[in-house]
């Protein structure tokens, strides 16, 4: 399927590993120009080196919880790329335990990181080519699991926020959608850490999925890139759950 992404200009937060990294790779492979950020300079540099041969890609060390740094990054990317057509808000603080600090971190990074990214990018998206916003939520935003608390609440809020964007921006031709992944396993990720540190929880989570496995980052990225593409031109305001039938609630 031709997604018509050649030459499109995309921003991806949290692009050095896991789902974000897979989204960067998929966009670049489709011919898009991609700017990505993450908090750790060493991780950004390593990803930049590894991705350089795939196409035009530029990484920056940015803490999305820092409003000024995030806004400045968006502006510099727009100048470097000549505009912005696609925004993927992917970063999460992964602040799961129910503590005041984790509520603040989840709000600053997961929620406001998405809001501020979109706000900074909107003037450029309005001048973009088939502009699209994709936010990354989680199945934890639509059901109660061990992440109930700051993580799950903010992921649910992201879905609500994105659907509001879709409605309010539709007349301007800007689409907005959410992808809600199920448990996604990758090297260095949270589920590898749980597998090593809390095998009982890992086995319990794995046993809940009728496929008998967790998702791979590229499987989530495929949904993100499709929603960002021309092939999804009449899809806006949706929450695409990619979880291998893990969740059993009915989306009405």
107: left (phi over 0), alpha (psi -120 to 50) or beta: alpha
Q: Which two tokens stand for residue 157?
A: 């809020």
Tokens of 163: 């659907």
Active site residue 137: yes
Among 60, 106, 132, 137, the one annotated catalytic: 137
Give the DSSP H/E element, type plus range, for residue 181.
strand 175-181
Among 60, 132, 138, 229, the active-site one is 138
For residues 186 and 14, give the distance between their C-alpha atoms in angstroms, rounded to a whole number: 14
Q: Give the separation between CA 101 and CA 140, rounded to whole angstroms.
A: 19
Edge-to-edge order in the sheet of strand 9-13: 57-61, 33-38, 9-13, 86-89, 132-136, 175-181, 239-242
Set 155, 161, 180, 236: catalytic member: 155
105 flagged as catalytic: no
Q: Is 151 a catalytic residue?
A: yes
Of 92, 114, 132, 151, which one is the catalytic site residue?
A: 151
Active site residue 161: no
Would strands 175-181 and 132-136 be described as parallel, antiparallel, or unpaired? parallel
Active site residues: 137-138, 151, 155
């Amino acid at each position: 399927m031709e997604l018509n992404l050649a030459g499109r200009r995309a921003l991806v937060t949290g692009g050095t590993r896991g789902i974000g990294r897979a989204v960067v790779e998929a966009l670049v492979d489709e011919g898009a120009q991609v700017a990505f950020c993450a908090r750790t300079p060493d991780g950004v540099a390593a990803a930049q080196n590894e991705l350089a041969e795939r196409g035009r890609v530029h990484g920056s060390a940015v803490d999305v919880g820092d409003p000024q740094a995030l806004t400045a990054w968006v502006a510099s990317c727009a100048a470097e790329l000549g505009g912005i057509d696609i925004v993927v808000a992917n970063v999460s603080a992964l602040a799961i335990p129910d503590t005041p600090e984790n509520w603040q971190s989840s709000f600053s990074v997961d929620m406001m990181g998405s809001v501020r990214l979109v706000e900074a990018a909107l003037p450029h998206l309005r001048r973009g080519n088939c502009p699209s916003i994709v936010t990354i939520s989680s199945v934890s935003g639509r059901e109660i699991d061990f992440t109930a608390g700051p993580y799950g609440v903010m992921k649910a809020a992201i879905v609500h926020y994105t659907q509001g964007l879709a409605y309010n921006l539709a007349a301007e031709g800007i689409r907005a959608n959410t992808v809600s992944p199920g448990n996604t396993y990758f090297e260095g990720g949270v589920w590898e850490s749980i597998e090593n540190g809390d095998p009982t929880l890992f086995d319990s989570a794995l046993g809940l999925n009728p496929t008998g496995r967790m998702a791979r980052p590229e499987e989530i990225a495929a949904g993100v890139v499709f929603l960002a593409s021309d092939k999804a031109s009449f899809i806006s305001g949706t929450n695409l759950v990619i979880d291998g039938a893990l969740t059993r609630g009915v989306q009405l």
